[in-house]
Structure 1
Amino acid sequence: MRHGISTHVFFPQRLTSALLDSLRDAGAEAIEVFAARHHFDYTDRAAVRDVATWFRSNDVAPTLHMPLFTAEDEAIWSRHTAPTINLISMQKSTRIASMDEVKRALEAAEQVPFTSCVLHPGLRDDEWDTRAIDDSMTAIEHLKAFAGPLGVKLLLENLTNDVATPAHLAEIVRVGHFSNVGFCLDLGHLQMTEVGEEAKAEGAKSLTEEAFEVFGDRLVELHLHDNHGQFSGKGDEHLWPGAGSVDWALVAKKVAAMKTQPVGMLEVAYDLGEASVVTVDRAKDAWALVRGVGR
């Protein structure tokens, strides 16, 4: 498994070459650049050029995460701001505006050699129905046509809504005949929807096992972070692996069995109080845990 770190760990800060240096020094072979104007302003050509120059000078592969906020919401952003960009909103105007914002971020690939872009299909309360399927396919087709010439592959990420379950994402890709669309398996989001211990005792299959099987060899990227599950009341904590209740031994087993190894992208919560050396040490521990040789 290739080691990656998302700039999400520095999300409240402006992305600089010094921050990218610290992720490289932590052993990152790939870096996911989180598209947010207060962090990585993809509409600022100078900011994009600086990031592009850094990646050209370092043997680190860049990937992109789609924006989660509109330009208006970026102005009042805080760590408690809920995402507002929705590619499958029931409002057509919102869908169009959301796709336009993602395209603005994708335009950065003209300078930064992004290989992939992670997409969020929907928001927390979106439901699985015919409309959601149609709107998902429309958004994917539209963005795929835009990203393809830039050399960027789209990756659909599982969320905690009913649309973006691994099984439903696979169904969207199958029905839409999207042969060049892959998947990003977010293990923290999966833990937020994992079946309880009572259900497992009754023979219910682990959602982690199902997800690896459903995504198969189209699984390109893993988002590695931890939480205490849907029944803890603590939400999507984005903890370092090992600090929550994710079954990392099972994850390590499933990753080891894959024919093509995915990028393991650490997507942990930002903590301005931590020095970069702490990030280095924690990243090494986290990757060891996912390899099955951790603490």
Structure 2
Amino acid sequence: MQLGISSHVLLQQRLHPTHLDAFAAAGARHIELFAARNHFDYTDRNAVKEIAAWFRSSEIKPSLHQPTDAESRWTRHSAPTLNLVAPDKFRRIEAQDEIKRALETAEQIPFTTLTLHLGLNHDAWDDTILEHCLTTVEHLKAFAGPLGVKLLIENLYNDVATPAHLMSILKIGHFDSVNIAFDLGHAHLAPNQPLDGIEPALKLIKPRIGALHLHDNDANTDQHLWPLTMEKGGIDWAKVLPQLPTNVPAIVEIAHDPPLDIDTIVTKFTATFDTIRSLEDAASA
């Protein structure tokens, strides 16, 4: 498994090359940068140059997660505000424009993929939403292509971005170069089970998975907990891991609240990676 780390765990802090050094020391071979102006400020030329220089001197591969809001001041209680499928056309364009600002950093940082969210928690699936999804994905795909970036659409715990609906979007839009960022924690949430649980989702979308997001929860709340640490209600990792594709980045995406110091983060990531590799070895024995 191509294990990696999301900078989401540091969302309350300004991203710095020393953080990337620490992720590398933990054993990450992929780093997903979470685009947030308070964290990785994609509008700050100096900040982008600094991060770009680090990746140019490293063999670690970067990917980008879309911004979820456009605010430069952020608190741990902030809710997502950018909505690519909002009923209001102005809000959809506003979200697209903000994501394109983040995408422009691919001129300096060698991102190969961008992970997108379609819809917020309350959004429901219908023909109008489908049309918004198709238009948005086509627009951002056309913008990302010349930058060498391909789109990944993440399954969420709303009614828009279920695995089945994501497959419909890809099929109807003929989006052959667009794939899915399969988030195991989201698939594990109780409101979407049993139809969209992890194993049914894998049967449906496995050929289109371009990346994995690994984290855990109690099957009721999107907690973004460390994998393999839940005593009750969590994902059965020993059962699930052998079913996952091994040729795509597997990004551990952990909650930023409560905040952790970088040494603790490195220790926890290293332990998580070691346990995953042990399970892989046991499955292949």
Common topology (TM > 0.5): yes
- Give the TM-score taking structure 2 as reference length: 0.92
Residues 92-131 of structure 1: matches in 2 within 5 Å? 92-131=89-128
Q: Which amino acid aligns with 1:169?
A: L
- Number of the residue aligned with 1:286: 272
Please give the per-residue CA displacement for 1:182-201, whole angstroms capped at 9, x wherever unaligned.
Answer: 110111111124666xxxxx
1:205 Cα deviation from its structure 2 partner = 6.5
- Number of the residue aligned with 1:215: 205
* Cα distance between partner residues in 1 of 2:277 and 2:123: 34
* Cα distance between partner residues in 2 of 1:126 and 1:250: 32
Q: Relative to structure 1, is the Cα distance of residues 242 and 101 closer, same or farther in structure 2, using a 3 angstrom cutoff? A: same
- Number of the residue aligned with 2:17: 17
Contact map agreement 2:162 2:196 (CA 8 A) in 1: no
Q: Relative to structure 1, is the Cα distance of residues 291 and 163 closer, same or farther in structure 2, using a 3 angstrom cutoff? A: farther
Contact map agreement 1:166 1:214 (CA 8 A) in 2: yes
Aligned to 1:117, the other structure's residue is in SS state: strand
- Number of the residue aligned with 2:49: 49
Q: Relative to structure 1, is the Cα distance of residues 97 and 27 closer, same or farther in structure 2, using a 3 angstrom cutoff? A: same
Contact map agreement 2:121 2:158 (CA 8 A) in 1: yes
- Number of the residue aligned with 2:241: 252
* Cα distance between partner residues in 2 of 1:279 and 1:81: 23
Q: Relative to structure 1, is the Cα distance of residues 194 and 53 closer, same or farther in structure 2, using a 3 angstrom cutoff? A: same
- Number of the residue aligned with 2:217: 227
- Number of the residue aligned with 1:262: 248
Contact map agreement 1:23 1:280 (CA 8 A) in 2: yes
* Cα distance between partner residues in 1 of 2:109 and 2:50: 9
* Cα distance between partner residues in 2 of 1:121 and 1:206: 16
Q: Relative to structure 1, is the Cα distance of residues 59 and 125 closer, same or farther in structure 2, using a 3 angstrom cutoff? A: same
* Cα distance between partner residues in 1 of 2:195 and 2:100: 38
Contact map agreement 1:188 1:227 (CA 8 A) in 2: yes
Contact map agreement 2:8 2:254 (CA 8 A) in 1: yes
Please give the per-residue CA displacement for 1:81-122, whole angstroms capped at 9, x wherever unaligned.
Answer: 110000000111100000000000000000000010000001
Residues 1-295 of structure 1: matches in 2 within 5 Å? 1-71=1-71, 74-75=72-73, 77-193=74-190, 207-230=197-220, 235-244=221-230, 245-255=234-244, 258=245, 261-270=247-256, 274-291=260-277, 293=279
| Equivalenced residues, count | 278
Aligned to 1:239, the other structure's residue is in SS state: coil
Q: Relative to structure 1, is the Cα distance of residues 291 and 78 closer, same or farther in structure 2, using a 3 angstrom cutoff? A: same
Contact map agreement 2:7 2:34 (CA 8 A) in 1: yes
**Percent pairwise identity:** 47
- Give the TM-score taking structure 1 as reference length: 0.89
Q: Relative to structure 1, is the Cα distance of residues 27 and 113 closer, same or farther in structure 2, using a 3 angstrom cutoff? A: same
1:211 Cα deviation from its structure 2 partner = 1.4
- Number of the residue aligned with 1:200: none
5+ residue gaps, structure 1, are 197-203
Please give the per-residue CA displacement for 1:213-246, whole angstroms capped at 9, x wherever unaligned.
Answer: 222222111111111112xxxx211110023311
Contact map agreement 2:28 2:60 (CA 8 A) in 1: yes
Contact map agreement 1:37 1:43 (CA 8 A) in 2: yes
* Cα distance between partner residues in 2 of 1:151 and 1:252: 30
* Cα distance between partner residues in 2 of 1:115 and 1:133: 26
* Cα distance between partner residues in 1 of 2:255 and 2:243: 25
Q: Relative to structure 1, is the Cα distance of residues 139 and 49 closer, same or farther in structure 2, using a 3 angstrom cutoff? A: same
5+ residue gaps, structure 2, are none
1:35 Cα deviation from its structure 2 partner = 0.2
* Segment of structure 1 superposing worse, 266-275 or 94-103: 266-275
* Cα distance between partner residues in 2 of 1:292 and 1:155: 29
